[in-house]
A = this chain, B = another copy of it.
């Protein structure tokens, strides 16, 4: 799991050839890795925007604390993801970010990001693509919050994680580790922790999800995908050819 540095390159660079300089620029982003403990808050809402991070190990999530005492988790970050792009261009953080479990992150500065954009059109395009893809994932979540029932939300959530983890080689025999508590899952899906538990039981009874603490197995991923009519365009879609021309 330590060679995930390259995942960023895969994610950003798949659609166009990266030059050796591009690769150097990318690797430079990861020169300052540090450990981050479970629960550590990387930054709070409204903090100044100074850093972005590459997640190298562990999971993180971005969230909003609400006036009514509840929390909404906006996105779960996996190894290889870039944290903080949400705030790109803003002076203040729109959401807080915290680690879910112990991990390693590589912070880099606003400054570094601007330089990278200035030096490599290919990477600039890739970064825009990253932002747009994140927006697409957010949209997908929004649709599920607005119009689907609890079991569909949970199934969709698990299947999305499954696909994303598979991309980075963190799935074995349809199983993966999921360090999120049911409370946190509820905060992501707009459900109470109790109902998340109920819903897990339901999916278990239907043979769709087997779970033992943090270990999750999807015995039949296709069945899950059918249940949620999973639209994976937003995860795997290739960029348009017009976009390539931009490089």
Contacts and interface: CB of A to CB of B under 8 A. Distances in A.
Interface string A130-143: 01101110110111
Interface residues of A, number: 53
A2 interface: no
Contacts of A148: 66, 68
A233 B89 contact: no
A237 B142 contact: no
A94 interface: yes
Contacts of A125: 89
Contacts of A211: none
Interface string A33-75: 0000000000000000100000000000000101110111010
Given A146-B190, A239-B89, A135 B136 contact: no
A128 B88 contact: yes
Nearest to A62: B139
A243 B89 contact: yes
Contact of A94 (B92, B136, B245): B136
B241 A72 contact: no
A9 to B, nearest CB: 18
B132 A92 contact: no
Given A128-B128, A129-B89, A95 B139 contact: yes
Contacts of A71: 147
19 contacts: A64-B139, A72-B142, A72-B146, A72-B147, A74-B139, A74-B143, A89-B129, A89-B240, A91-B241, A92-B233, A111-B242, A131-B131, A131-B135, A135-B135, A138-B139, A138-B142, A141-B142, A146-B190, A147-B190
Interface of A: 49, 64, 66-68, 70-72, 74, 86, 88-92, 94-95, 110-111, 114, 117-118, 125, 128-129, 131-132, 134-136, 138-139, 141-143, 145-148, 189-190, 229, 233-234, 237-243, 245-246
